[in-house]
Amino acid sequence: MAVSFIQSGIGFPDAQQADDSIGGLLAVGGDLSPKRLLAAYRAGIFPWFDDDQAPILWWSPDPRAVLVPGEMHVSRSLAKRLRNGGFEVSLDLAFAEVVQGCAIKRQGRSGTWITPAMGVAYGHLHELGYAHSLEVWCEGRLVGGLYGLSIGAFFFGESMFSSVPDASKVALAHLSKQLKRWRFQFIDCQIPNDHLRSLGVKSIPRTQFLAALAANDESKTRLGNWTFDADCRAC
């Protein structure tokens, strides 16, 4: 399929037109305004690029990596960390700090796809009540977390980080439990990999993902800052 070039408006081509020979690239250009980002996620599309000076790249991979809330695989070692690791968790208390943690260059990588423009864009979505963070603390210090945005019964995960072992897994375990309580359908993990599969993430065809999105009831979107249900702080 030919990759589309976005010049005006906030619309996108059909996600099924993505070029699967290059990972599901669908379109190039546009901006990171809240309206465009929300339109993208509603259509099963997300931005992923590594240079604020270059055109934005928009993707819709096939297959799609998703985690069904409540179905995360928790190993014995992770279960022990959840019980006795000395972690505390919170929701939407340090969104900017979590994004900053996720943006730090990883070992073995030359850069980060969470550019300053991306950080600002998702900060705007947080202010609008769509984007959320989950923080993991140890002795009062932020040691891990994740962030993404929520529309209806979908949570679109963007990134997670750990500065101590297993902190990001602790974040995902708590998010999975809370979203099961809220009857979310999917946590979108975007692109499958072995690490995600080890956590219970499965791959589904893009057609199935898009069909579920089309049936998503956006009237149930939980806008505003999130807090844990009392019994979801512990896993």
As to burial, measured by CB atoms within 10 angstroms (0-12 exposed, 13-18 middle, 19+ buried), residue 42 is middle
According to the model, what pLDDT value does residue 113 have?
Answer: 76
Q: State pTM to two decimals.
A: 0.94
Name all domains of the chain by residue range, CATH numbers in brackets: 4-61 (3.30.70.3550), 65-232 (3.40.630.70)
The CA distance from 5 to 168, in Å, is 35
Answer for the pair 57, 88: CB distance below 8 angstroms, yes or no. no
Run of H or E residues at 175: helix 167-181
Q: Is the model's pLDDT at 2 over the cut of 70? A: no
* pLDDT tens-place string over residues 38-80: 999 999 999 998 887 889 999 999 999 999 999 999 999 998 8
* pLDDT tens-place string over residues 146-163: 999 999 999 999 999 999
Q: Which residues 6+ apart lie within 8 Å of 131 measured at CB?
A: 95, 122, 123, 125, 147, 148, 149, 150
CA-closest candidate to residue 173, choices 151, 197, 200, 143: 200
